[in-house]
């Protein structure tokens, strides 16, 4: 009997040690989950659940204020919807024209501002980046005032003898106005991204190229562009996503007019959801935008040959 008690007593510290160890390991495993739990819970409630629910809603329609399942009817309706197709066309025109111009200007400005010849770099950088920190609505209002029929731009054009242009009331010029406004706002933002990437390119590469007799232009195309390729791809994808979701600028500048010529898919989504309260159809449009963004991003990855 006494032998057993002695054995039990001699085992206790080992067992206790193991239990403590297990508790410690368990705590170590569980603590990170406890820390990330609040953000995961809020992310699930406010992001995952709406995303999932809007997917369900994209197969529903509102009948008498109640959502009823209608299968693929919303998707069928979408591809026969003339207004949606027009909005899609407008969005792609803006995407095809504005994004390349903006990225090209941003790249040129970044290269110029990276020049060792330049003084007052900070002042120039701030000047170009300032539009990016302006409120979207505020800058759209400024542009709408400047581009009015009696606005500053037209007075300036008349003064130099070109004559006034119906910036916001002509289908073509309304698109030009949007492109101008968006380019003004986003060039500085992309320029800063390129500038950061340029500062990471080793000077040794340029030095070696200079010794080999490469001109500045050759250095730009053979060193700068290849080194910036991942960043250019990144900005191209970000800009594509931004343009496909375009809403603020056309809403404030042109309200989608004249005759839906500047209506974008983002605006049409808003109108369908919050003007006509057709949330099922609006969810369908949202999912089509998601699919378009995924396809365009995939194409950009493939074209650039970046598999990372």
- Which parts of this chain interact with another protein (CB under 8 A)? 109, 112-113, 115, 117-118, 123-124, 127-128, 130-131, 134, 138-139, 142-143, 145-146, 150-152, 155-156, 158-159, 184, 187-188
Q: Smaller CB distance to another protein: residue 158 or 306?
A: 158
Helices (H), the chain: 2-43, 49-57, 73-78, 82-113, 121-129, 136-146, 152-159, 171-199, 203-211, 216-219, 225-244, 248-253, 265-270, 279-304
Looking at the DSSP bridge assignments, the partners of residue 60 are 69
Residue 205 beta carbon to another protein: minimum distance, rounded to whole angstroms: 21
**CA trace torsion 132, 138, 141, 143 (10° rounding):** -20
Closest approach, Cβ 105 to another protein, in A, equals 9
Angle formed by the axes of helices 121-129 and 171-199, to 10°?
140
Which residue lies nearer to another protein by CB, 1 or 123? 123
Q: Which is nearer to another protein, 58 or 177 (CB)?
A: 177
- Residue 138 Cβ, how far from another protein at the closest point, in Å? 7
Of 188 and 256, which has the nearer Cβ to another protein?
188
Q: DSSP assignment of 221-277, as one string?
A: IIIIHHHHHHHHHHHHHHHHHHHHT--HHHHHHTTT-STTTT--HHHHHHIIIIIS-
Give whichever of 155 and 259 is closer to another protein, judged by the CB atom. 155
Nearest residue (CB) to another protein, 109 versus 269: 109
Please report how close the Cβ of residue 185 comes to another protein at its closest, in angstroms.
9
Q: Smallest gap, in angstroms, from Cβ of residue 117 to another protein?
A: 5
Structure tokens at 283: 């969810």
Give the C-alpha separation, 254 to 247, whole Å. Answer: 11
143, 152, 216 from 136: Cα distances, Å:
11, 20, 37
Distance CA 299, CA 111 (A): 27
Q: Biggest alpha carbon distance in the chain?
A: 115
DSSP 47: I
Give the shortest CB-179-to-another protein separation in angstroms. 15
Q: What angle do CA 31, 36, 37 make, to 5 degrees?
A: 90
Q: Which is nearer to another protein, 39 or 116 (CB)?
A: 116
Q: How far is the CB of 127 from another protein (least distance, A)?
A: 4
């Amino acid at each position: 009997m006494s032998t057993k008690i002695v054995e039990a007593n001699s085992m206790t510290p080992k067992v206790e040690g193991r239990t403590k160890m297990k508790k410690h390991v368990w705590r170590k495993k569980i603590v990170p989950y406890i820390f990330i739990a609040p953000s995961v819970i809020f992310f699930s409630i406010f992001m995952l659940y709406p995303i999932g629910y809007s997917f369900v809603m994209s197969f529903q329609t509102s009948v008498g204020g109640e959502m009823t399942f209608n299968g693929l009817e919303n998707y069928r309706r979408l591809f026969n919807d003339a207004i949606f197709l027009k909005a899609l066309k407008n969005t792609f025109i803006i995407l095809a024209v504005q994004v390349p111009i903006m990225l090209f200007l941003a790249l040129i400005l970044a290269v110029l501002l990276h020049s060792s010849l330049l003084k007052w770099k900070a002042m120039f950088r701030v000047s170009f980046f300032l539009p990016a920190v302006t409120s979207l609505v505020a800058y759209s209002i400024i542009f709408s005032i400047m581009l009015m029929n009696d606005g500053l731009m037209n007075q300036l054009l008349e003064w130099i003898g070109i004559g006034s242009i119906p910036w916001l009331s002509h289908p073509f010029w309304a698109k030009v106005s949007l492109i101008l406004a968006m380019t003004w706002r986003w060039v500085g933002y992309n320029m800063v991204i390129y500038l950061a990437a340029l500062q990471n390119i080793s000077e040794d590469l340029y030095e070696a190229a200079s010794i080999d007799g490469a001109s500045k232009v050759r250095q730009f195309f053979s060193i700068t562009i290849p080194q910036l390729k991942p960043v250019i791809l990144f900005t191209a994808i970000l800009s594509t996503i931004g343009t496909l979701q375009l809403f603020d600028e056309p809403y404030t500048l042109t309200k989608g007019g004249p005759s839906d010529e500047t209506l974008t898919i983002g605006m049409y989504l808003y109108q369908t959801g919050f003007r006509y309260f057709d949330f099922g159809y609006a969810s369908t449009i949202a999912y089509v935008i998601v699919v378009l963004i995924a396809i365009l991003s995939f194409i950009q990855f493939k074209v650039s040959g970046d598999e990372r």
